[in-house]
Structure 1
Amino acid sequence: MLRAISSRGSISSLLHSRSIQARLGSSSVQNPIPATFLRGGTSKGIFLNRDHLPEDRSQWAPICLGVMGSPDTANGLQINGMGGGISSLSKICVVGAPSESQEARGLDAEYTFIQVGIRDSVIDFSGNCGNLSSMVGAFALQEGICTRDGSSNKVTIRVFNTNTNSHILTTFPVASVNGRVVPVLDLPQTSVAGVPGKASQIILEFPRPAGARTGKLLPTGNPVDSIDIHARPGTQIPASLVDATNPCIFITLADLTRVLNVPPQSTVDFANDTVKEVIESIRMQSAVKMGLDPGSQAQPKISIISPPSSEDHDIYIQAYSMGIPHKAVPMTVGLCLGVAANINGSLVQRTAQKSEASAASGGLLTMKHPSGFVEVGAEFEADGTVKGARTVRTGRWLMKGVVWW
Structure 2
Amino acid sequence: MLGRLGSASLRQAGRRSISSSVTANPIPTSFLRGGTSKGIYLQRSHLPQNQAEWDPIFLGIMGSPDPEYGRQLNGMGGGVSSLSKICVVGPPSPEQKAEGIDVEYTFVQVGIRDSTIDYSGNCGNLSSMIGVYALDAGLCKPSIVTEDGNARVRSFNTNTSKVIETTFPLDAETGLAALDLPQTAMAGVPGKASQVVLDFVNPSGARTGKLLPTGSPVDTLNAGAFEIRASLVDATNPSVFVLFDDLVSQGLPVDEYLRGKQPAEQDVSKVLETIRQAGAVAMGLDPSAKAQPKIAMLHRPQDSSQADIVVYALSMGVLHKAVPMTLGLCLGVAAKTERTLAWDITQQVRGESSAACDGLVRILHPGGVVDVGAEHGSDGSVTSAKVVRTGRRLMVGSVYW
For normalisation by structure 1, the TM-score amounts to 0.91
CA contact (8 A) 1:15 1:31 kept: no
Q: Are 1:135 and 2:126 counterparts? A: no
Q: Are 1:240 and 2:231 counterparts? A: yes
- The alpha-carbon deviation at position 181 of structure 1 amounts to 1.3
Q: Tell me what 1:329 maps to.
A: 323
Count of paired positions: 389
In structure 1, distance between residues paired with 2:357 and 2:340: 23
Q: Secondary structure at the match of 2:170?
A: strand
In structure 2, distance between residues paired with 1:105 and 1:338: 28
- The alpha-carbon deviation at position 3 of structure 1 amounts to 3.7
Q: Secondary structure at the match of 2:231?
A: strand
In structure 2, distance between residues paired with 1:360 and 1:346: 14
Runs of 4+ in 1 over 4 A off after TM superposition: 8-16, 148-152, 358-362
Cα 1:48–1:14 change in 2 (3 A) is closer
Q: Tell me what 1:368 maps to.
A: 364
Cα 1:73–1:210 change in 2 (3 A) is same
- The alpha-carbon deviation at position 381 of structure 1 amounts to 1.5
- The alpha-carbon deviation at position 269 of structure 1 amounts to 1.5
Q: Are 1:4 and 2:12 counterparts? A: no
Cα 1:314–1:76 change in 2 (3 A) is same
Q: Which moved more, 1:111-120 or 1:252-261?
A: 252-261
Q: Secondary structure at the match of 1:260?
A: coil
Q: Tell me what 2:269 maps to.
A: 276
Cα 1:127–1:7 change in 2 (3 A) is same
Q: CA RMSD in A?
A: 2.4
Deviations 1:135-191 (A, max 9, x none): 0011001111002497751111000000000000000000233xx511100101001
Q: Equivalent residues in 2 for 1:305-344 (5 A)?
A: 305-310=298-303, 311-344=305-338
| Aligned equivalent of 2:55, options 52, 55, 61 | 61
Equivalent position amino acid for 2:3 in 1: A
Q: Tell me what 1:258 maps to.
A: 249
| Aligned equivalent of 2:180, options 171, 176, 186 | 186
Q: Are 1:121 and 2:115 counterparts? A: yes
CA contact (8 A) 2:203 2:382 kept: yes
In structure 2, distance between residues paired with 1:7 and 1:394: 21
Cα 1:289–1:71 change in 2 (3 A) is same
Equivalent position amino acid for 1:6 in 2: L
Please, which runs of 5 or more residues in structure 1 have no aligned partner?
A: none
Q: Tell me what 1:382 maps to.
A: 378
Cα 1:237–1:361 change in 2 (3 A) is closer
Q: Tell me what 1:32 maps to.
A: 26
- The alpha-carbon deviation at position 343 of structure 1 amounts to 1.2
Q: Equivalent residues in 2 for 1:162-311 (5 A)?
A: 162-177=158-173, 180-230=174-224, 233=225, 235-261=226-252, 267-270=255-258, 271=260, 272-310=265-303, 311=305
Q: Equivalent residues in 2 for 1:6-21 (5 A)?
A: 6-7=5-6
Q: Are 1:73 and 2:64 counterparts? A: no
In structure 2, distance between residues paired with 1:236 and 1:6: 59
- The alpha-carbon deviation at position 207 of structure 1 amounts to 1.1
Q: Secondary structure at the match of 1:348?
A: helix
- The alpha-carbon deviation at position 11 of structure 1 amounts to 7.4
For normalisation by structure 2, the TM-score amounts to 0.92
Q: Secondary structure at the match of 1:391?
A: strand
Q: Which moved more, 1:275-284 or 1:382-391?
A: 382-391
Q: Secondary structure at the match of 1:284?
A: helix
Equivalent position amino acid for 2:367 in 1: S
Q: Secondary structure at the match of 1:36?
A: strand
Equivalent position amino acid for 2:385 in 1: A
- The alpha-carbon deviation at position 55 of structure 1 amounts to 1.1
Please, which runs of 5 or more residues in structure 2 have no aligned partner?
A: none
- The alpha-carbon deviation at position 28 of structure 1 amounts to 1.1
In structure 2, distance between residues paired with 1:5 and 1:260: 59
- The alpha-carbon deviation at position 368 of structure 1 amounts to 0.4
Equivalent position amino acid for 1:28 in 2: V
In structure 2, distance between residues paired with 1:346 and 1:150: 38
Cα 1:12–1:118 change in 2 (3 A) is same
- The alpha-carbon deviation at position 123 of structure 1 amounts to 0.5
